[in-house]
Amino acid sequence: MTRRPPWLGSLPVAAPRRAAAAPVRLVNPTGLGLASERARANMVDSLRRIGVRDPQVLEAMVQVPRHLFVEPALASRAYEDVALPIGHGQTISKPSTVARMIEMVAAPLSPAARAGAQVLEIGTGCGYQAAVLARVFGQAVSVERLRGLHEQARGNLRALRLSNLRLVFGDGNLGVPQAAPFDAIVVAAAGDAIPDALLEQMKIGARLIAPIGTTRQALHLVERVDREQWQLTVLDAVRFVPLRSGTS
């Protein structure tokens, strides 16, 4: 266990503890009907085969129609295990990445505890991961720094009527202090270090997962042990868009 400053502010990018899993091609639902429960169920079966076990996470991914969050021209690829462009130089993460990150931050919480827990997402993007988070946690807050994507996510999410999801336009590096503290934080963009503001907005016992690095990136899992201590675990190599400051 290590104390915060200078701990994370100067954190080097460590070599991943284990190699990233080989890419897995999930079921392409062409011919099944993109909106069908069967198509999403087939995707979730593929996630289960590559090691995702959390029943709530898997059920959430059955319920959220990923094809509604991608461009119509790419809808036929919505249930493959690939990142897809969503405009503004950003991407929607692979289903396996979304599932693993949420599974890891939610792991310490029982289903009953999750119902009363609050999660923060940094990087709303098109809104897909936010929708999955809102079906796993009692309350979800998601921050996006690009106005165009923030509005795009609002449009994508409107039909799902997720009353427990709040979208915020702002600088994700600052978190959402007025809504803190959080039981879990998921960062969907890669910085050089985890911002101090996010560490301070974690509850005692909370988990945060974030990609760290520039040319080389790895997922970092942080657990807040007490008021002054955080514990770090370095996971797989990954590839995310950069975490930037400010709004645009």
Residue 211: name the closest of 236, 195, 190 by CA.
Answer: 190
Q: What is the pLDDT of residue 35?
A: 52
**DSSP letter (8 states) at residue 247:** -
What's the average model confidence in pLDDT over 33-40? 66
CATH class belonging to 87-237 = alpha beta
- Just list the catalytic residues: 93
pTM exceeds 0.85 = yes
Measure the CA–CA gap between 68 and 213, rounded to whole angstroms. 30
Helix axes 37-49, 55-63, angle to 10 degrees: 150
Give the chain's radius of gyration (CA, Å). Answer: 17
Question: 91: which strand partners?
Answer: 85
Give the pLDDT confidence score for residue 36 in this predicted structure. 66
Q: Report the candidate in 78, 71, 137, 77 with the shortest Cα–Cα distance to residue 103.
A: 137
SS3 37: helix
Mean pLDDT of 82-105: 96
What is the reported pLDDT for 67? 93
Digit-coded pLDDT (tens) for 110-155: 999 999 999 999 999 999 999 999 999 999 999 999 999 999 999 9
Structure tokens at 90: 């950003």
d(CA 237, CA 243): 17
CA of residue 245 relative to chain centroid, distance? 18
CB count within 10 Å of CB 141 equals 26
**Residue from 109, 114, 21, 99 nearest 64 by CA:** 99
